[in-house]
Structure 1
Amino acid sequence: IISAMVFIQAFLICFLEGRFFCLNPQGFRARVRILITKHISVLRKVWGRGVLCIFAGILHLAHWWIITTISASFMIVVGIAAVVCGTIAGHKLDNLRAALDDDTFLRFEFDRFDSDNDGALTLGDFATFLSSIGLEFDDMYVINAFHSIDTQRRRKINYRQFSDWWYRCKFNSKRTSLPRTVRKSRR
């Protein structure tokens, strides 16, 4: 039974962590990942997947063979690293977003990922853009965010729609309104 649980957890870890060149947020891997994270929401976060690695490693230690002890120790170390790195990355992301008071960098990056140079991002462009600036959001979050930004239902978002979403999300958890510097730069 323990071996079966370890196998299932290893499969979950590989499926959740390995994108295997499947960045499309509407592909098969994304759909299965959405199904998994819908029911186990803590796995949406890096630190949550780190806890899963730690738990799998602890279960793997129950076999008490030298090879399983080595692999279990590795899983526990990877899990601890994921918890620490996920927490640190979350804090750094908050600091990065707080530092972006002008639109220059954001506009440059937006234009860089506009694949057909029409001034708008498709869902694929949007997912690649977010990934490139270090925002590894859950696939379902990317799809929902895109659809919430695309108020005109054109299946594309322009820079104005994107920047409105960016600044709304940027300060949503800390403040109820945008600070003066951001409001001035957006006029």
Structure 2
Amino acid sequence: MMEGSGADSYGATGGAPQQSENSKLMATAVAGAAMEAAKTEAAKIKNMVLNMRDGPVSIKILSYIAGILLVVTGFFSFFGSFFTLHPVDAVVHLYMFAFGWAILLLEARSSILPKKIVYNIHKYCAFTTVVWGRGAFFIFVGTLALAQWVFISILVGLYLVIIGAGMIYWGQEAYKNLDALHGEMKNPEVVEGMFRKFDHNQDGVLDVTELGNLLESLGAMLRPTEVEAACIIMDTDNDGKISLAEFQGWWANSPSPEVV
């Protein structure tokens, strides 16, 4: 009986290295599969961003959708987590609800918001006044939603991450093109002349279409989303239009910061 017991012990001991080796191989295989899945998802996100870049999409509309999704899902998920006694999840969903309202406020026209709110946004959340800053904020909130690992939160999180990546990309392309145009207008008189030339309805401001026509006349090859990003870059008061002072301010400033 002792021999049998010894054989069993020997078999168990002898099998341990083999089990360890199998575990290592399995872990390597899982890590490789995860890496391939990550690469595939990254490629999908890149393709979606490129497709949105070329299509008739609006950064502002996409942002409004993101804000509404966060407000709705955050509201209902908060009460769901609260009544099922998941306080941590409830707090996270409350943050998502608040971030949704923050996005809606950021995209609202300054003309419909009290000046104090606009001033405080620019002062305390300066990163949201630049395109790449908004994109980074969207990605942060998106990862927060993804971390909940609930189907609806995953969908909302993926949407936010994709839109955030798109904003960073569109903003970077707009910055590059705008930097290249600084030398195309030699003096303030030319700058003002170009502004008034493309202010077709003579209302003293350029809308996105008029700004796109002006930039195109200077040789910039911007897609619709990139023109909208350029408008956001110049639009310091967030009213959706470019005044002569804003246009002159952009031209007079040093080259725009690039996203590294």
TM-score, normalized by the shorter chain, greater than 0.5: yes
**Which of 216, 225, 231 lines up with 1:135 in the alignment?**
231
CA distance in 2, matches of 1:9, 1:63: 15
> Are 1:34 and 1:139, in contact at CA under 8 Å, matched by a contact in 2?
no
**Where does 1:93-132 land on structure 2 (aligned, <5 Å)?**
93-101=178-186, 106-111=192-197, 113=199, 125-126=203-204, 128-129=205-206, 132=210
Instruction: Pick closer, same or farther for the CA change 1:76–1:40 going to 2, 3 Å.
Output: same
CA distance in 1, matches of 2:94, 2:239: 31
CA distance in 2, matches of 1:28, 1:141: 9
Q: Could you report, residue by residue, the CA deviation over 1:87-113 in whole angstroms, capped at 9, with x for unpaired residues?
A: 221121111232234766852531553
Q: Does 1:40 align with 2:130?
A: no
Q: Could you say which residue in structure 2 is the equivalent of 1:173? A: 254
Give 1:130 deviation, angstroms: 6.8
Q: TM-score, normalised by structure 2?
A: 0.45
Q: Could you report, residue by residue, the CA deviation over 1:140-174 in whole angstroms, capped at 9, with x for unpaired residues?
A: 799xx97xx6xxxxxxxxxxxx9xx83x7535426
Q: Could you say which residue in structure 2 is the equivalent of 1:7? A: 97
**Where does 1:55-66 land on structure 2 (aligned, <5 Å)?**
55-66=140-151
Identity of aligned residues (%): 21
> Are 1:34 and 1:140, in contact at CA under 8 Å, matched by a contact in 2?
no
More helix by share: 2
CA distance in 1, matches of 2:239, 2:199: 19
Give 1:44 deviation, angstroms: 0.7
SS of aligned partner of 1:139: coil
Give 1:36 deviation, angstroms: 1.2
Q: Could you say which residue in structure 1 is the equivalent of 2:22? A: none
Question: What letter corresponds to residue 237 of structure 2 in structure 1?
Answer: D
**Which of 159, 176, 179 lines up with 1:74 in the alignment?**
159
**Which entry has the higher C-alpha Rg, 1 or 2?**
2
**Which of 18, 22, 29 lines up with 2:113 in the alignment?**
29
Give 1:11 deviation, angstroms: 1.4
**Where does 1:78-97 land on structure 2 (aligned, <5 Å)?**
78-97=163-182
Give 1:49 deviation, angstroms: 0.6
Task: Report how many residues are paired.
Answer: 140
Give 1:129 deviation, angstroms: 2.2
User: How large is the Cα RMSD of the aligned pairs?
Assistant: 3.4
CA distance in 1, matches of 2:156, 2:239: 33
Question: What letter corresponds to residue 110 of structure 1 in structure 2?
Answer: R
Note the residue ranges of structure 1 that are not aligned, 5 or more in a row.
Answer: 117-124, 150-161, 175-187
Moved more, 74-83 or 102-111: 102-111
CA distance in 1, matches of 2:207, 2:167: 20
Question: What letter corresponds to residue 73 of structure 1 in structure 2?
Answer: L
Question: What letter corresponds to residue 50 of structure 1 in structure 2?
Answer: G
Give 1:46 deviation, angstroms: 0.8
Note the residue ranges of structure 2 that are not aligned, 5 or more in a row.
Answer: 1-90, 212-229, 256-260
CA distance in 2, matches of 1:74, 1:140: 24
